[in-house]
Amino acid sequence: MTETPIILRGGPIFDGTRLLEGYELELTHGAISALRPVTAGCAEVDLGGDILMPGFVDLQVNGGGGLLFNEAQTVSALKTIAAAHRSLGTATILPTLITDRREVSRAAIKAAREAIAQGVAGIGGLHLEGPHLSVARKGAHDPDLIRPMDSDDLAAYCEAARTLPALMMTVAPETTTAEQVAALASAGAVVSLGHTDADYETCMRYQKAGARCVTHLFNAMSQLGNRSPGVVGATLDNAEFFAGLIADGHHVHPASIRAALRAKQGTERIFLVTDAMSPAGTDQHRFELNNRTILRENGILTLENGTLAGADLDLASAIRVMQQETDLPLVDILAMATRIPADLMGIEGGRLSVGRPAVLTLLSANFMRATPVDLA
C-alpha cells in the first residue's frame, strides 16, 4: 500500500541556506520527498507560523539529561545525552570530553565508536577538549590533568580520526607541536585551538600546519591587544579559521559578538555551540565534575569560586540572543546552528535535502523554544 505523503506548511521553512516563505515540505516514508511552493496538498500539518528547519548541530556538548560524558563514557550515557538535546531541538551532537585521565579519553573514543556502530541517534562523532591545553588558560579544566601530547596519545587520536565519522580536537600550542597538529589534520581530525595563551604568530603557524578552528571564541584564550593580537586577533584576521561561539549573554559581550561578525563577514566561519553540561534538559541545580562542585543559578554554571564551567544554554536560546543583539539576518543565524557546523565536520545534517531522512526541528517564531518534529 502506498503511503499518503504528509505535507507541512503554515510557517517559514529554512532549508540550510534559504529561509522560504510560502513553501511546504512533503514527507514520504519518513524522508523528504519535496520542498516546493504551497500546493493544494493533502494530510496537512499546520506549522502555526513557527520555523521548520533541520535539527540543530552542536559541536560542543559536555552532557545533558543529568549526565556528564566525563562521568560516564558509555553508550547508555551517550543515548541519554543525545536524547536530552534532541528534546531541545538538536539533531546531531559531538559529545565532548574535557580534560581527564588518559584512560578516560580512550574510553570516550571507544564509547563514541560503539554508539555510532549501534546507530545511536544524534551522535555525530566526538570532541576531545583537552587534556593538551594551557594551565594558564585552564578555565574549569583540572590543572592537575593537563599535560603535553605524547606519541601514544597522537597514535590513539589519529586512529580515532580515521575510524570515527568526525573528530574535533581542542589543543593548545603550549602542549602540542605543529607537527602533531599536522598529523592529526592529515588523519582527518578537525584541530581547534583553545584554552591557550598563544600569540598571533603561533596561531598563524598552527593554522598553516592544519588547525582549522578556535574553541569558544573569546573565552579561555589570549585577547586582542594593540601590539599583541593573540588568539582572538588571529581568528578575526585569518579568514580560514572557523570559531565556535557561546551566545548566552554571559560568556561573550554582545559588542564583542558584533565585532567578530563584522570581522568574519561573508566567510561563514562562525557557528553556535552550547558548551552544555549535565543540567541540559533537566531542572538539576548542582553537579560534580572531576570531584568539584558546579552550581547552576540564573542561567549560569560556575565552580564554587565563580569560574564559568560550561554553559546553561540551548541553541534556540543562542539563536534568540543573536537575533536580539546583532543585525545579522535570521537566515545567517540559523545557518550558524545547522549547516556551518555540519559542513566544518563533514557530517550529515544541517540541510533539508530531497531524498534524505527528515530530522526536523520546529523553532517558535519568538525563538523561545525548539522541539523535534515527530510524525510517527
pTM: 0.96
Q: Write the pLDDT tens digit of every residue in 92-122.
A: 999 999 999 999 999 999 999 999 999 999 9
- At residue 266, the pLDDT reads 86
pLDDT surpassing 70 at residue 143: yes
Least confident interval from 30-34, 239-243, 289-293, 328-332: 289-293
- The answer on 69 and 33 residing in a single domain is no
Q: How far is CA 296 from CA 95, 204, 306, 307, 309, in A?
A: 20, 37, 11, 12, 10
201 in the same domain as 118: yes
Is residue 376's pLDDT more than 70? no
* Average pLDDT of the residues of the chain: 95
Is residue 106 domain-shared with residue 188, that is, in the same domain? yes
C-alpha cell at 22: 510560502
| Number of domain units in the chain | 2
Structural domain includes residue 32: yes
Using CA atoms in the order 371, 169, 293, 285, what is the torsion angle rounded to 10 degrees?
A: -10
- Taking the alpha carbons of 282, 285, 287, 292 in that order, is the dihedral positive or negative? positive
Is residue 1 pLDDT above 70, yes or no? Answer: no
Q: What would the pLDDT profile of 57-71 be if each residue is shown by its tens digit? A: 999 999 999 999 999
Nearest to 237 by CA among 198, 267, 210, 196: 267
Segment 147-182, tens digit of pLDDT:
999 999 999 999 999 999 999 999 999 999 999 999
Band of the pLDDT at 289, cuts 50, 70, 90?
confident
147 and 176 Cβ atoms separated by less than 8 Å: no
The pLDDT tens digits of the residues spanning 180-229 come to 999 999 999 999 999 999 999 999 999 999 999 999 999 999 999 999 99
Do 147 and 30 lie in one domain? The reply is: no
* Residue-range definition of the domain harbouring residue 84: 56-345
Checking if the pLDDT of 3 tops 90, the result is: no
CATH number for the domain harbouring residue 191: 3.20.20.140
Q: Are residue 16 and residue 127 in the same domain, yes or no?
A: no
- Residue scoring higher pLDDT (285 or 237): 237
Residue 23's CATH number: 2.30.40.10
Give catalytic residue positions.
Answer: 275
What integer pLDDT is reported at residue 2 of this predicted model? 54
